[in-house]
């Protein structure tokens, strides 16, 4: 098993967990969690994470290398890219899946730009995810009232040729509590209407039962960032408080990596295998 494609990963389980990473040890934790669960997983690098590092190449090559030595199928995915040049760069580096995020644009422009990205990506055999109906919350402003219309979703997929669609069904990005209530009826209606795998963003704010319900209703890719970042940071904080004299960063990063792997494994068993 190794670096794989999105269609291969999605075809193996009822839904695939996609986890955001900001540094090497989070990529290692996500892959270790996937190996523990025996499930495929997605390593996601967001445009924001790229901006943090100042470049895509170091993080993308690290993620691709970690994926290649994994014991389960792993996809590397560029997440929430609004910069089309960054998408081209990811494709050139061998990243097999990208998200073009035009959800903030006027509808017509979102369709035109997404369709153009899809043509270029497909020429290179790369999977394309797009977003319709802004999930919101990336800049601190939650948009819990925004919803994707099922018929519009079908028209958007037909007009753009995308392979997967992120939809707004009640979650918001960067929630620190897991209390979002998803509209499962709406997920069902969109899944019936749009002929591509649906993606749930902002899944950190969704409780376990809600994640299971979302998958049963038709979600095929579940994006989790804030929650696993919180597990990583909390574990480092505990370690640093327990040993204020600690100087070797590995002494706090290793337990954080381990705790994150355990939580990724638990979430994958829920999302991909339906174990609760």
Work out how close the CB of 25 gets to ligand G3H at its nearest, in angstroms, rounded to a whole number. Answer: 18
- In angstroms, give the least distance from the CB of 254 to Zn ion: 28
33, interface contact from Zn ion, ligand G3H, none, CB < 5-8 Å by kind: none
Q: Looking at beta carbons only, is 201 or 269 nearer to Zn ion?
A: 201
Chain centre to alpha carbon of residue 95: 14
User: Residue 80 Cβ, how far from Zn ion at the closest point, in Å?
Assistant: 6
**Is 173 annotated to bind ligand?**
yes
Query: Tokens 């290793």 identify what position?
Result: 254
SS3 assignment, position 128: strand
- Which member of 142, 201, 227, 269 binds Zn ion (CB under 5 A)? 201
Question: Which partner from the list Zn ion, ligand G3H, none does 204 bind, CB cut-off 5 to 8 Å by kind?
Answer: ligand G3H
- The response to whether 77 counts as a known ligand-binding position is no
Cα angle: 217, vertex 218, 222; to 5 degrees: 110
First to last CA, the chain: 26
Length of the chain: 276
Residue 79 known to be catalytic: yes
77 in Cβ contact with 97 (< 8 Å): yes
Dihedral angle over CA of 5, 14, 168, 181, nearest 10: -150
Strand residues in 122-187 grouped as ranges (E): 127-132, 164-167
Positions in the binding site for ligand G3H (CB under 6 A): 20, 79-80, 173-175, 201-205, 223-227
Please identify, using beta-carbon distances, which residue of 201 and 220 lies nearer to ligand G3H. 201
Piece of the chain touching Zn ion by CB under 5 A; list 110-118, 185-193, 194-202, 206-214 = 194-202
Q: Is 221 in the site for Zn ion (CB under 5 A)?
A: no
CB 53 → ligand G3H: shortest distance, Å?
17
Residue 264 contacts which entry, Zn ion, ligand G3H, none (Cβ below 5-8 A, type-dependent): none
Q: For 23-34, give one letter per residue: b (16+ CB within 10 A) or e.
A: ebbbbbbbbbbb
77 lines the binding site for Zn ion (CB under 5 A): no
Which residue among 79, 163, 183, 248 is the active-site one?
Answer: 79
- Is 201 annotated to bind ligand? yes
Nearer to ligand G3H, 80 or 269 (CB): 80
Tokens for 188? Answer: 């069902």
101 assigned to a ligand binding site: yes
Query: Distance (Å, rounded) from C-alpha 180 to C-alpha 198?
Result: 18
Q: How far apart are CA 90 and CA 98, in angstroms?
A: 8
What is the C-alpha R_g of the chain?
18
Closer by beta carbon to Zn ion, 201 or else 221: 201
Residue list for the binding site: 80, 101, 131, 173, 201
* Active-site amino acid positions: 79
């Amino acid at each position: 098993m190794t670096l794989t494609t999105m269609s291969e990963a999605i075809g193996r389980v009822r839904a695939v967990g996609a986890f955001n990473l900001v540094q090497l040890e989070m990529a290692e934790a996500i892959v270790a969690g996937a190996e523990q669960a025996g499930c495929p997983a997605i390593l996601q690098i967001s445009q924001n994470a790229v901006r943090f590092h100042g470049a895509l190449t170091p993080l993308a090559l690290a993620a691709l290398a970690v994926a290649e030595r994994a014991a389960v199928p792993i996809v590397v995915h560029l997440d929430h890219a609004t910069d089309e040049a960054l998408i081209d760069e990811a494709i050139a580096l061998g990243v097999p899946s990208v998200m073009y995020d035009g959800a903030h644009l006027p509808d017509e422009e979102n369709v035109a730009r997404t369709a153009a990205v899809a043509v270029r990506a497909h020429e290179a055999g790369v999977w394309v995810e797009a977003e319709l109906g802004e999930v919101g919350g990336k800049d601190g402003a939650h948009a819990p009232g925004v919803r994707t219309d099922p018929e519009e979703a079908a028209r958007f997929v037909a007009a753009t040729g995308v392979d997967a669609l992120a939809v707004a069904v009640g979650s918001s990005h960067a929630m620190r509590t897991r209390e979002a209530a998803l509209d499962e009826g709406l997920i069902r209606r969109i899944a019936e209407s749009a002929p591509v795998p649906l993606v749930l963003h902002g899944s950190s704010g969704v409780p376990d039962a809600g994640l299971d319900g979302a998958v049963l209703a038709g979600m095929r890719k579940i994006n989790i960032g804030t929650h696993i970042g919180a597990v990583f940071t909390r574990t480092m904080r505990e370690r640093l408080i327990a040993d204020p004299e600690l100087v070797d960063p590995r002494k706090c990063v290793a337990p954080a990596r381990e705790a994150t792997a355990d939580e990724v494994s638990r979430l994958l068993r829920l999302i991909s295998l339906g174990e609760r």
